[in-house]
Amino acid sequence: MEKRVSYRNRYLPWLLLTPQLLVIAVFFFWPAGQALLQSLQQQDAFGTSTEWVGLDNFRNLFKDETYLASFRTTAIFSVLVAGLGISISLVLAVFADRVTRGVMVYRTLLIWPYAVAPAIAGVLWLFMFAPSIGIASYALRRFGVDWNHLLNSQDAMTLIVAAAVWKQISYNFLFFLAGLQSIPKSLVEAAAIDGAGPWRRFWTIQFPLLSPTTFFLLVINVVYAFFDTFAIVDAATNGGPGKDTSILVYRVYYDGFKALDMGGSAAQSVVLMIIVVALTVIQFRYVEKKVTY
């Protein structure tokens, strides 16, 4: 896309671009390049000597059983977050699309968690599920469930999934509601006249027409689970018990800033970069087709 008319000026466009370019050069490209370099180097603990080690950092990384475990943890976590988040919000959006009165009230009450910081979400859920004093863990005990996310890794995983899904429902809900409202009423009415009940209409008309939205949300939710949930994990479980909830992003932070293994952390950064690039490519290749109705 090009404008038909434009200005010609030797200095002005450069001047206009300078602030943005400076920021991305200094804080994005330079550090990303450094991460690539460091991933091929090994520093001793005091940072006094650096040597080239080729792909050794990556080899060590993928030989490390705990790193592979972190991959599995991240995979389980993102499947649960995306799956639960999308299905719960789809159900809510379908019913919100159906009610004639109070849609705005429901919408307002359902979307505010978007504004809640992941770290705060982590703190709220941690408080409710604190093993000895939490109101939710008390309720669970009444039902015979001995909840302790500090010792039981399944409980810990459930906790971070719940907090992450809770925070993401608002986002998915808004997109599903917008998607449902843009489906022409005449289609649904025609099917109703033909005698299709609500259940049948949902599966044969609304759900297929929503599939671009669903796919888009799937990508967004996976990105969210991979990258935006660091604060939830840090606030709610600290990656524990052991390393059972330390997702990849938590590992990068922990290895780089707590364990001070710069080479290993940089190699992990590069692995994460590859994942982001893949997800972004998927998003831009397929999300173009989002608006099909």
Partner 1 sequence: MLVERRPTLGLLAHAILLCGVAVVCFPLWIAFVASTHTAQEVLQVPMPLWPGAHFWENYTSALLGTGSGSGSNAAVGQMLLVSLISALCIALGKIAISILSAFAIVYFRFPMRSFFFWAIFVTLMLPVEVRIGPTYQVVSDLHLLNSYAGLTVPLIASATATFLFRQFFMTVPDELLEASRMDGAGPMRFFFDVLLPLSSTTIAALFVIQFIYGWNQYLWPLLVTTNESMYPVVVGIKRMIAGGDSANDWNLVMATAMLAMLPPALVVVLMQHWFVKGLVDTEK
Q: Which residues, 162 to 221, sit near partner 1 by CB under 8 A?
A: 166, 169-171, 174-175, 178, 185, 188-189, 192-193, 198, 216, 220
Min. distance of Cβ 101 from partner 1 in angstroms? 9
Only segment of 6-14, 66-74, 77-85, 204-212 that touches partner 1 (CB under 8 A): 6-14
Q: Which of residues 14-33 bind partner 1 (CB under 8 A)?
A: 14, 16-17, 19-21, 23-24, 26-33
Q: 3-state DSSP call for residue 6?
A: coil
Residue 83 contacts partner 1 per CB under 8 A? no
Residue 76 contacts partner 1 per CB under 8 A? no
Q: Which of residues 241-270 bind partner 1 (CB under 8 A)?
A: 249, 252-253, 256-257, 262, 265-266, 269
Among 5, 144, 285, 292, indicate the residue that binds partner 1 (CB under 8 A): 5
- Dist. CA 124–CA 163, nearest whole Å: 8
Between 83 and 131, CB nearer to partner 1:
131
Residue 7 contacts partner 1 per CB under 8 A? yes
- Dist. CA 35–CA 265, nearest whole Å: 9
Q: Are 197 and 160 in contact (CB under 8 A)?
A: no
Q: Are 278 and 285 in contact (CB under 8 A)?
A: no
| Stretch 105-134: interaction string toward partner 1, x if CB under 8 A | -xxxxxxxxxxxxxxxx-xxxxxx-xxxxx
Tokens describing residue 155? 């409980």
State the residue for tokens 């710069």.
262
Only segment of 4-12, 58-66, 78-86, 153-161 that touches partner 1 (CB under 8 A): 4-12
Concatenating the DSSP letter of every residue in 91-106 gives HHHHHHHH-SSSHHHH
Tokens describing residue 52? 């080239």
Min. distance of Cβ 68 from partner 1 in angstroms? 19
Tokens describing residue 84? 């639960």
291: Cβ–Cβ under 8 A, 6 or more apart, which residues? 212
Q: Hey, which bits of 126-254 come out as E strands?
A: none
